[in-house]
Structure 1
Amino acid sequence: MSLDGRKGLRQDVPTRWNSTFLMLESAVYYRRAFCHLELIDSNFKNCPSVLEWEKVDSIRTFLACFYHATCDFSGTKYPIANLYFPAVFMIYVTLKQHKESGDEYKRLMANRMLSKFEKYWSEFSIVLAIAVILDPRFKLHFIDFCYKKLYGESSSREFLLVHAKLFSLFMEYNGMSPITSSNIAVEKPEFDKFERDDVGIQKTQMELYLDEPRLDRNAKLDILAFWKEMNFVILM
């Protein structure tokens, strides 16, 4: 059937993440070979029917986002904190979509998964969102987009909660950091008062960061190096 025989079939292993997806992925790849074998070998009695193949392919597609998220999270040669929210967002969207599936087996599966998923989402989504806000390719724009997709009309409340937590965390961190400023002697007391009043309305470093244009979405970025450089510029 002109298929790459080196790819091989995979078996489901209950103790291995994504093994079900990998099993279905390999089976779908060799579908034509299985169907051909059914035609030429009368002893091959267990070839899936057309409807079963469609079910296999549907579940494979459903599980794909979990597989890709696991691969991203398992990386050891790059920072991954900023990758969590986009991947987990895709999982949430996928579960919500399949919760309304016309296929009963998939709808029941998605509902069971969603009930467990939402427990962890409620506990950790904010800290994951803050991590991706600190990625200059995403910032608050991505959170706004995701929450509108997930919550619809209720997205503003969720978005403002993240916004408040972000600045609360920033102020806490900023308060713990040493303040570096140069004290310039000014002769006129009126200017001293003006300067003190003006400081109160100056934008914070976080606001300045958020106001800057986002980097290209597909830009290759060492995010740790980016923030090291940012920190150096701020201290200067």
Structure 2
Amino acid sequence: MHPEEHVEFKKRSAEKEKEKQTPKRMLKQTTLDSTARPYSRDSEKARGGTRRVLEFIVMSDLPFNIVENPAFQRLLTYFDPRYRLPGHTYCGETGLSELHRDVRSRVESLLMESSSSISLTTDIWSSDVSPMSLLSLTAQWIDPNFKLRAAVLHAQEFRESHSAAALVTKYENMLQTWQIPRERVHVVLRDNAANMAKAMREGGLPTLPCMAHTLQLAIHDGLLAQRMITDILATGRRIIGHFKRSPQAYCAFHDVQQQLGQNVKKFQQDVTTRWNSSFYMLQSLLEQKRALAAYGAEHEVPASFSANQWGLIEHIITILEPFEELTRAISSSTASAADVIPSVLALKRFLSRDAPSDRGVMTAKAELLRAVTRRFDGIEDEPLYSLATLLDPRYKDRCYSAELKAHTREQLLELLDAQSVADEVQRPEASNADEPAEKKARLGSLSSMLGEIMQEERPQKATTAMSQLNLYLSEPVILQDADPLAYWRANQDRFSALTTAARAYLSAPCTSVDSERLFSTASNILDAQRSRLSARKVEMLLFVRKNLPLMLEKA
């Protein structure tokens, strides 16, 4: 009888039915708006949000005043209107200190969980935007599950003279801070500077030079210091400098590249402290040979290569390619001291063989071979290298002569014997302490005599180590791209006498790249816009930035 009222009644009934079917959780979300009551600063939700904001800021190398950026505030409000960002002072002081404390606790627990030896790297860095120098100390070790662990321990301000005595004091304080005894330090990787080497000797720390630095010195002595090479490099720098200084010239060169159907690329500028940057510079010039010739036909160029020099560039690149390949390999986070002897052996073999590409550079190649031999002289006699190579299932004893094989094998057996004796000394003390007094053998009794007889069978432990070593060496090596730690993880029960030594010697890197990467991050933190950061704040930021992934993997 009332059609309009009936339609309105059905409409209201449908809306009520829809509200009944809507989940309560969705209703709560629709009522949430920017006027909602904010979380309490001490609430779990607010503290969790602040912690994640701090993690984002530190991992992204951002300044703390980003929390006052209106766009950043709007972003977080969009996801949760009830969360309020704290000020930059709180983030940079209280928040960072709490985060640093938690990350440090995580690193300490990881170091305590593993009783294996620790390998360290160290370096000194000076800022370009602030009168600040930092001394680094990074740690690397293999945990009981044969997983490689790495952490930054320090990036301390180093205001004193960079003398060996000052360095020794610094390293002693650093190790005491982390309660790392000297006996647990397997090796310290450092550069070839005389003060660093002297500090390690005076501090009684086992040490090795960085392989990348030694390779740099060998290439400079054997190749880059030769007159014909220096002339080519100087000409290349002049050509690239012409385009760097003139955007108009670069645009014209790009047009030539496009006309020739080449990819538009910029030249690589070399850096005197990195030999591979000179390699990349010559490579980029050779790639643009046709484009340079076409550009030079219509425009002025301050220098150019002769046909003979272009041929020399090709030969130089061919000679340096294995060195570049090796540099990339040893700069990997998984590279170890076991790679040094096999890599140097391969380089010597490459440089000693004649090849068609040697025409015009035979003298340079011979000088390079002499420089590599001189710079890496005696590495086979260094146990930190030789034992690491022997314990790496990719190499074993395949890189040694018969005499060196026997010598290295004896060194390892002596090491295993010493470990076996130390274990035997500790084991009876621990077991006797737990035995009831009435069960302990009385001095002069028959039981004590039997105990002495059983102790005389100790050489059986060495025999076990010898048999395991023989079996290990008799098996074929694994593939070059295989993971040696995965091998030991799978075979640690089978070669139980070798695992402790493998865990120690394979923990050592072959370069101090970890410290250099740390300082690359430091230059991002201490930049021109944040040049007034204190050394304490820089160290805290570096520590959290590098070690926070250890916390996140736990979560």
Give the TM-score normalised by structure 2: 0.32
Q: Aligned to 1:84, which of 333, 340, 360?
A: 340
Equivalent residue letter for 1:46: A
- Counterpart of 2:321 in structure 1 is 64
Structure 1 residues 16 and 129, CA, compared in 2 at 3 Å: closer, same or farther? same
SS of equivalent to 2:269 = coil
Equivalent residue letter for 2:314: D
Does residue 482 of structure 2 align to residue 220 of structure 1?
yes
Does residue 489 of structure 2 align to residue 232 of structure 1?
no
Residue 101 of structure 1 and its aligned partner are, at CA, apart by 8.3
Residue 74 of structure 1 and its aligned partner are, at CA, apart by 1.6
- Provide the C-alpha distance between the structure 2 equivalents of 1:100 and 1:118, rounded to a whole number of angstroms: 23
Q: Aligned to 1:48, which of 296, 302, 305?
A: 305
Structure 1 residues 3 and 99, CA, compared in 2 at 3 Å: closer, same or farther? closer
- Provide the C-alpha distance between the structure 1 equivalents of 2:386 and 2:414, rounded to a whole number of angstroms: 18
User: Do the aligned residues in 2 keep the contact of 1:95 with 1:110 (CA within 8 Å)?
Assistant: yes
Relative contact order, higher structure (CA 8 A, sep 6+): 2
Superimposed CA distance per residue, residues 30-61 of structure 1 (whole angstroms, 9 cap, x where no aligned partner): 1221122233x152473323322111111011
Q: Aligned to 1:175, which of 417, 420, 433?
A: 417
Does residue 468 of structure 2 align to residue 205 of structure 1?
yes
Q: Aligned to 1:36, which of 294, 297, 302?
A: 294
- Counterpart of 1:108 in structure 2 is 363
- Provide the C-alpha distance between the structure 1 equivalents of 2:406 and 2:330, rounded to a whole number of angstroms: 27
Residue 98 of structure 1 and its aligned partner are, at CA, apart by 6.3
Indicate the percent of aligned positions where both proteins have the same amino acid.
Answer: 23
Moved more, 161-170 or 84-93: 84-93
- Provide the C-alpha distance between the structure 1 equivalents of 2:403 and 2:329, rounded to a whole number of angstroms: 27
- Provide the C-alpha distance between the structure 2 equivalents of 1:89 and 1:234, rounded to a whole number of angstroms: 28
SS of equivalent to 1:5 = coil
Superimposed CA distance per residue, residues 68-122 of structure 1 (whole angstroms, 9 cap, x where no aligned partner): 21221222x2142232233222321233236998645x23323333333222433
- Provide the C-alpha distance between the structure 1 equivalents of 2:368 and 2:328, rounded to a whole number of angstroms: 20
Superimposed CA distance per residue, residues 126-156 of structure 1 (whole angstroms, 9 cap, x where no aligned partner): 5545433433233334x26xxxxxxxxxxxx
Matching of residues 112-123 of structure 1 within 5 Å: 112-123=367-378
Matching of residues 131-170 of structure 1 within 5 Å: 131-141=388-398, 143=399, 159-170=401-412
SS of equivalent to 2:495 = helix
- Provide the C-alpha distance between the structure 1 equivalents of 2:285 and 2:403, rounded to a whole number of angstroms: 45
Structure 1 residues 218 and 92, CA, compared in 2 at 3 Å: closer, same or farther? closer
SS of equivalent to 2:485 = helix
Moved more, 94-103 or 115-124: 94-103
SS of equivalent to 1:62 = helix
Q: Which has more strand, going by share of residues?
A: 2
Residue 169 of structure 1 and its aligned partner are, at CA, apart by 1.6
Residue 214 of structure 1 and its aligned partner are, at CA, apart by 2.8
User: Do the aligned residues in 2 keep the contact of 1:72 with 1:80 (CA within 8 Å)?
Assistant: no
Q: Aligned to 1:2, which of 248, 261, 265?
A: 261
Give the TM-score normalised by structure 1: 0.69
- Provide the C-alpha distance between the structure 2 equivalents of 1:102 and 1:26, rounded to a whole number of angstroms: 21
Moved more, 77-86 or 164-173: 77-86
Equivalent residue letter for 1:25: Q
Any unmatched runs of 5+ in structure 2? 1-259, 425-456, 498-555
Equivalent residue letter for 1:125: E
Any unmatched runs of 5+ in structure 1? 145-158, 182-195
User: Do the aligned residues in 2 keep the contact of 1:83 with 1:132 (CA within 8 Å)?
Assistant: yes
User: Do the aligned residues in 1 keep the contact of 2:341 with 2:379 (CA within 8 Å)?
Assistant: no
User: Do the aligned residues in 1 keep the contact of 2:342 with 2:395 (CA within 8 Å)?
Assistant: no
Pairwise CA RMSD of aligned residues?
3.4
- Provide the C-alpha distance between the structure 2 equivalents of 1:4 and 1:101, rounded to a whole number of angstroms: 27
Equivalent residue letter for 1:63: L
User: Do the aligned residues in 2 keep the contact of 1:79 with 1:224 (CA within 8 Å)?
Assistant: no
Structure 1 residues 234 and 136, CA, compared in 2 at 3 Å: closer, same or farther? closer
- Provide the C-alpha distance between the structure 1 equivalents of 2:356 and 2:489, rounded to a whole number of angstroms: 45
- Provide the C-alpha distance between the structure 2 equivalents of 1:234 and 1:140, rounded to a whole number of angstroms: 17
- Counterpart of 1:93 in structure 2 is 349
Residue 18 of structure 1 and its aligned partner are, at CA, apart by 1.5
Matching of residues 180-199 of structure 1 within 5 Å: none
Residue 26 of structure 1 and its aligned partner are, at CA, apart by 0.9
Residue 175 of structure 1 and its aligned partner are, at CA, apart by 0.8
Moved more, 13-22 or 122-131: 122-131
- Provide the C-alpha distance between the structure 2 equivalents of 1:166 and 1:218, rounded to a whole number of angstroms: 21
* Bigger radius of gyration: 2
